Amino acid sequence: MILLVVLAIYCWVEIAMSDPLQVRQLPRSLWTLVVFAPLVGPIAWLVFGRPNGDEVPAPTPRPRPRQVAPDDDVEFLRTLRSRPRPPDDLV
């Protein structure tokens, strides 16, 4: 009985200290619930969920679109040139 409690505590500590991106099969939060099952839960974590040392590549950050001022935007300037000018008497 004491061995089961020690094994469960060991698995909970290991789940808490593991990198969420390296945990296999289930999210960490679900593994904490699975470990509540006596003997089967901790063994399932050790066999199926525990990070196995394979490095998961970090996601590359997507480049943020660069904001361009209207007077630097070639397309915007082209649309201004193509518009007919209003008559001077309306301005």
Q: pLDDT for 3-53, tens place per residue?
A: 989 998 998 898 888 888 888 888 888 988 898 888 899 989 888 888 776
Provide the pLDDT confidence category of residue 58 given band limits of 50, 70 and 90: low
Instruction: Return mean pLDDT, the chain.
Output: 81
State the number of CA atoms in the 13 A half-sphere of 31 facing the CB: 30
b/e map of 23-40 (b: 16 or more CB within 10 Å)?
beeeeeeebbebbeeeee
Q: pLDDT at residue 57 above 70?
A: no
Question: How far is the C-alpha of 47 from the C-alpha of 43, rounded, in Å?
Answer: 6
Q: CB-based contacts of 45: which residues, under 8 Å, 6+ apart?
A: 11, 14, 15, 31, 34, 35
pLDDT, position 54: 65
Contact criterion met (CB below 8 Å) for 14 and 50: yes
pTM for the whole structure: 0.54
